[in-house]
Structure 1
Amino acid sequence: MIIRLDQKNKEQAKQLLHIQLAAYQREAEQIGYQDLPPLKETVKDIMETDEIFIGFEKEGHLLGIASYEMHEDRIVLCRLAVHPQHIHQGIGTELMQAIIQQQKTIELTTAEANIPAIKLYEKLGFKQKSRLQVENNLVLTKMECSMLRKVEVIEYQSSWSEQFQDEHDKLKKIVGDNWIYGHHIGSTSVKGMAAKPIIDILLEVKHISGLDECNHLFRQLGYEPLGENGLKGRRFFRKGGLNQTHHVHAYEAGHDDVKRHLVFRDYLKAAPERAKAYANKKRQLAKAYPEDMASYINGKDAIIKEIEQEAYNWSKQYKDK
């Protein structure tokens, strides 16, 4: 299985380097170039890097590793190594797929003569972008895998409520005693409203940290656990890869964001003209940015803030009555 590694831990750094040296020595022999930079690294070098490391573990043994740098708009793959005793078992593919699930454009550089690696990357959707002559007997190839999510806004589907209920019941089973309530939120929860066809589910739980113990169960349902994902006190899960189908936003009961999500939803249900304006804005943005999710999201920001303020005022007046 794929695990997160801590290269700052000396013992783990030693394991990482052991696999790296074995894998890159094999590559050096394949391409006829013995001066590969990964072969010169030490345990200290591994420990001092700020790259994100993941590994493939089986029966307590580390068989392969990968590391990458996370940037705002892309991921840069720094290393991918599978111990020579465990090649041709799909380990490199699993490591790469774990990185691809981050859903950002990925770039990497490999030796042009490393045909097995290039074939693996091409199979995963990478394309060769440029060549760099380093020395007479070493040519590097830069490759990239673009992760542009298509922006799709469709008309309201009556099946969305059924899809929510079906997923709600599955989630309740895996969360168990930690469960308090599951809400259908977002645009797919507002009858008659156009939306991206993604079912947003808000979970209220007793202990947010307890959900971390359920990550393997979420994975079995097809979800990718992303931790807080930028919002303190939240646990976020998404399903469907590039064609996302479900988002789960989980909080402890009483968290401010629970009320924010529910009030936003309820206000749109109670104010059809504002719901219509919001839907029209989304249609316009989807048409203007069909393959630019970031611009689509940024374009919604102003109207979302307007509606959130209106929803807050509405809920306050409703409460005071």
Structure 2
Amino acid sequence: MITKLKHHDERIAKQIWCVSQRSYSVEAELIGREDFPPLSRTVADIKAAKSDFYGYVESDDVAAVIEIEMTELHLEIHSLVVDPNHFRKGIADKLMCFVLSELHITSAWVETAVVNEPAIRLYRKHGFVEIERFTPPHGIKKLALLYSSS
């Protein structure tokens, strides 16, 4: 079940943090970086976030989380993480379907590491197209993808 998570609550923020840490540890290994910036995010950072968090919950277990920010009809996806214990169950796909169809948007934007092929395949499957490649100060090569419902 997909539900909006009350990330300002300490217990919920800790659950989001745990899923993020486990998922981003796998991604850090994939891209070959121990100092992967998302791993430095704290529970306090999550509690203070202005964005919204939706979780895929199975038996009171948060299996995956998508963090988004809406501006009018435009969606920015800040993160999409799946607990490694729930990999290959189609959960990321379900979260993408949810935000693209249920939130009544006309466009969406996301960025990911160039070497993160599973994420790139997921976004392309949902109609995202690459619009830019860049290297931020932390040195991890990234790409930005855009979705348009028109």
1:44 match: secondary structure: helix
CA contact (8 A) 2:73 2:104 kept: no
- The residue number in structure 2 matching 1:119 is 121
Give 1 or 2 for the bigger CA radius of gyration: 1
- The residue number in structure 2 matching 1:103 is 104
| Aligned amino acid, residue 59 of structure 2 | E
* d(CA) in 2 for partners of 1:126, 1:54: 20
Q: Deviations over 1:94-118 (max 9, x none)?
A: 1111110123211001000001110
Structure with more of its chain in helix, by fraction: 1
- 1:38 Cα deviation (Å)? 1.4
Figure out how many residues of one structure are paired with residues of the other and give that number.
Answer: 148
| Aligned amino acid, residue 120 of structure 1 | L
Query: Unaligned regions of 5+ residues in structure 1, if any?
Result: 149-321
Q: Deviations over 1:84-133 (max 9, x none)?
A: 11100001011111110123211001000001110111111111110002
* d(CA) in 1 for partners of 2:143, 2:74: 18
* d(CA) in 2 for partners of 1:119, 1:3: 24
Query: Unaligned regions of 5+ residues in structure 2, if any?
Result: none
2:115 match: secondary structure: coil
- The residue number in structure 1 matching 2:37 is 37
- 1:55 Cα deviation (Å)? 0.3
| Aligned amino acid, residue 39 of structure 1 | L
CA contact (8 A) 1:103 1:147 kept: no
Matched, 1:55 2:55: yes
- The residue number in structure 2 matching 1:318 is none
Q: Which runs of 4+ in 1 moved over 3 A?
A: none
- 1:136 Cα deviation (Å)? 8.7
1:65 match: secondary structure: strand
- The residue number in structure 1 matching 2:18 is 18
- 1:37 Cα deviation (Å)? 2.1
- 1:67 Cα deviation (Å)? 0.8
* d(CA) in 2 for partners of 1:115, 1:77: 17
Structure with more of its chain in strand, by fraction: 2
Matched, 1:78 2:78: yes
TM-score relative to the length of structure 2: 0.94
| Aligned amino acid, residue 144 of structure 2 | K
- The residue number in structure 1 matching 2:87 is 87
TM-score relative to the length of structure 1: 0.45
The within-5 A match list for 1:214-229 is: none
| Aligned amino acid, residue 140 of structure 2 | L
The within-5 A match list for 1:121-200 is: 121-134=123-136, 138-148=140-150
2:17 match: secondary structure: helix
- 1:59 Cα deviation (Å)? 1.6
- The residue number in structure 2 matching 1:46 is 46
47-56 or 127-136: bigger deviation: 127-136
Greater relative contact order (CA < 8 Å, ≥ 6 in sequence): 2
